[in-house]
Amino acid sequence: MRVISPELFTKRSLTYQLHNALQYEERGGAGVIQQYATTDSVKQLHACALLDLSELSRTGLRGKNTETVLTQGNLPFPVRPNQINMLANGAVVARLGSTECWILDNPLLTTTCIDQLDARVTSAADCYPVYCQHTHAWFALSGQYMPVLMAKVCGVDLRQDVFPIGSVVQTSLARVSAVIIHHRIGQTPVFSILSDSSLAEYLWYALLDAMQEFQGKAVGLGVFSNR
């Protein structure tokens, strides 16, 4: 049986050396964390948990024909900036500005909606790719303590009544610029946090530090299978 590890692949999270994971799964040419330890549990997911999803697929596009390209790709264009649309397969289309959207694949699926979209962007006039796969790390935070935890490191009010599921904000998080998207992975509400890859290690440690008082832990994607 082949043992998967991130070192087997050229595509890696910039925080891969920080993880003391027990099990990885090969996904999209990378080793994605499935399990950290026997303490990975649904209870942890619902209390306070942090995931590194940086190896998983995402892309972006910008330009006056962004809406046309998305529509042709059966990806609904959000009505206003700082909103998302969720696809039936769990992927997210997040509108960051008047002509810019980022698309995040569903971390729980091995299929991707992004490859065909990238081909359309390449051939479209007045629509350009945004390479957030390479420029931004992707972390996800879950659990009942998400808003109060984030209040320690972010000046924006992220409570449910102010920042409901379907919302996007571009802000400073632990003094790092970040895009925060409130959506669901499966049935679990999460804050997806996308921030400069060069600061990924710093932000990972900053979030883990902020989580300590809530007994927060890093977990793998496999914990969603235990729901």
Q: Which range among 96-100, 106-110, 158-162, 193-197 shows the weakest confidence by mean pLDDT?
A: 106-110
**8 in helix, strand or coil?**
helix
Give the pLDDT confidence of 168-200 residue by residue, as tens digits. Answer: 999 999 999 999 999 999 999 999 999 999 999
Per-residue pLDDT, averaged over 88-98, amounts to: 93
Which one, of 123, 81, 127, 132, lies nearest residue 104 by Cα? 132
What was the pLDDT predicted at 125?
72
**7 in helix, strand or coil?**
helix
Q: Judge whether residue 48 has pLDDT over 60.
A: yes
- The values of phi and psi at residue 117, to 5°, are -65, -45
Q: Which residues pair with 160 in a beta bridge?
A: none
Q: List all residues 6 or more positions away from 33 whose beta carbon is below 8 Å from its beta carbon.
A: 19, 21, 23, 24, 51, 52, 220, 221
Dig out the tokens for 98 from the structure. 């008047």
Q: Where are the alpha helices (DSSP H) in the chain?
A: 42-47, 66-72, 115-123, 132-135, 146-151, 200-211
Contact 50, 207 (CB under 8 A): yes
The domain locations on the chain are 58-132
Contact 47, 145 (CB under 8 A): yes
Q: Judge whether residue 117 has pLDDT over 80.
A: no
Which one, of 51, 9, 17, lies nearest residue 222 by Cα? 51
Give the pLDDT confidence of 124-139 residue by residue, as tens digits. Answer: 678 888 989 999 999 9
Location of structure tokens 């698309």: 103
Contact 192, 140 (CB under 8 A): yes
Per-residue pLDDT, averaged over 140-144, amounts to: 96
Q: Which range among 58-67, 91-100, 114-123, 136-145 shows the weakest confidence by mean pLDDT?
A: 114-123
Report d(CA 37, CA 222) in Å as an integer: 11
Dig out the tokens for 101 from the structure. 């959207």
Homologous superfamily assigned to 58-132:
Aminomethyltransferase beta-barrel domains (3.30.70.1400)
Q: List all residues 6 or more positions away from 200 whose beta carbon is below 8 Å from its beta carbon.
A: 13, 14, 15, 54, 137
What was the pLDDT predicted at 69?
87
Q: Judge whether residue 123 has pLDDT over 70.
A: no
Q: Judge whether residue 86 has pLDDT over 80.
A: yes
Per-residue pLDDT, averaged over 90-99, amounts to: 95
Which one, of 111, 201, 223, 113, lies nearest residue 102 by Cα? 113
pTM: 0.93
Which one, of 198, 143, 210, lies nearest residue 173 by Cα? 210
